Amino acid sequence: MYFSIFALIGLITIPETGKIFIRALAKDDKPSATALLWSRFVVSVLIFITTSGFFLVSQAFAAPFIPPAVLGITALCVLIYPFDLYLAKWQSQKNFGAYCTAESIKYVGVLGIFIALTAMGHSITISLVAQLGLIAVFHIISFSLFARHAFDFGSIGTNTAALFKVEEAIEARRFSYAGILPASLEHIDKLLVGWVFGLEFLGIYTLAYSTGRTIYNMLKPGFYIYYRQFVDTMPGLSMLRVIGGVFTLVGVICSILFWFLSVSGGAMQKFQPGAAATIILFASYGIAMVRAVYGQAYILNVRSDALHLLKATTLASFASLLLLALALVSSPAWALILLALQYPLRDGLTLKLLANHHGTAA
């Protein structure tokens, strides 16, 4: 639950700031970069202040509906989300050696502290907060390595209000909030599934979802190398066809391998109840990857329109919601299939609507 809260806070704290920051770096635009940092920091602080207010009210009325751990998580978010711009800095420089090394060190450390604390008898909640604390320290250190050259910290004290009106800061907010609905659906559907079908079915669905999306999420960062290029030029049709073809083939191979292992007995047999959903998610790798690359390029590109992105994601999300609603009134077997189909439906429709507006490069 706490990781979901951490992720949902991330959706509110202007998550597309990094891509607009890459635009600012491409123009060596220090005022815009400063405005982007300040805007995200202020939103993170406001979330913490709001959560603190609700926490104090709950304590005053002896109705602790906000656990202390949530307060700690929102406090750490102030130190985590605004300062992850070091990732965008390395992406813009195509410095993927540093990117991969730093992220590997971070997540090995996060895993290590979790294992160590739980082995010492501490609770999962304490271990999670410690993980986030380590991430916060890592982000601040990594951010400090380039901050002096990328930002004008003096302008924060003298032009605080004006920074929110800088075009890049406005663009980051527009693009971020345009993507909130589809991103939140990936958390909301699990809550609804658990409520309607129960925890056992939720476990099957979550297992199917995580299995089918794990490889996709591992492969997606491989396209970061094109981020600086996408600022000026959208991906070409030939590039998108290659991505779609290659990753569809990868998905089909994964589907066949998964099906064979799940029916052959042994440890993989536990995946069998969610096999249909997993195979659908594997088979839709191609459209998911094309949507990911084109969607990221759309936000990075200087000619893009945040309002059109909002329209595209909203229409696609409503189509996805129709499948979700149908799944909730279906039998469990059909529900799994319909729940899995909402992802390629949303990806395909979003891609179609965005391409109609922007097109592709030659």
Give the predicted TM-score (pTM) of the model.
0.78
Q: Give me the helices (H) in 264-284, please.
A: 275-283
Q: Which of 20, 106, 98 is nearest to 304 (CA)?
A: 20
β-pair partners for 236: 361
3-state secondary structure of 236: strand
pLDDT by residue for the chain (362 residues), tens only, comes to: 677 788 888 889 999 999 999 999 888 899 999 999 999 999 999 999 999 998 888 888 776 678 888 899 999 999 999 999 998 888 888 777 777 788 888 888 888 998 899 889 888 889 889 999 999 999 999 999 889 888 998 888 787 888 888 999 999 999 998 888 887 777 777 777 777 777 766 776 666 666 656 666 666 666 777 788 888 888 888 999 998 999 899 888 888 887 887 777 666 666 677 778 878 888 888 898 899 889 889 999 888 888 888 889 999 999 988 988 898 888 888 888 888 898 899 999 999 998 876 555 44
User: CA 287, 288, 294, 298: dihedral to nearest 10 degrees?
Assistant: 130
* Residue from 348, 359, 207, 251 nearest 290 by CA: 348
- Tell me the C-alpha distance between 159 and 64, whole Å: 39
Alpha carbons 267 and 238: distance in angstroms, whole number: 41
Distance between CA atoms of residues 327 and 333, nearest Å: 9
